[in-house]
Amino acid sequence: TFELSSIANVEILIYTIGGKKIKHIKSKSYPQGFNSIGWNGKNEFGRTLANGVYIYKIIAKNTSNKISHIGRCAIFK
């Protein structure tokens, strides 16, 4: 879930703690306000990820700005 102050294209990259990119959620346009992106917990090859902590990078860009945020997410089954 994220909030945008204006319309922007948003993409998310997910990495292991070691820095290996395991998932790229492609860029899509989202409206101003609160939005959410669903993810099934699988990597680029369709395999379910193991329990643990992962790093995400969310990138939002429009014609005048590009902003990114790095955070952590956890998978527990």
Return the pLDDT at 77: 80
* pTM for the model: 0.89
Strand partners, 57: 13, 70
Return the pLDDT at 38: 87
Do the Cβ atoms of 30 and 7 come closer than 8 Å?
yes
* Each residue's pLDDT expressed in tens, for the chain with a length of 77 residues: 999 999 999 999 999 999 999 999 999 999 999 999 988 999 999 999 999 999 999 999 999 999 999 999 999 88
Return the pLDDT at 14: 97
Do the Cβ atoms of 31 and 60 come closer than 8 Å?
no
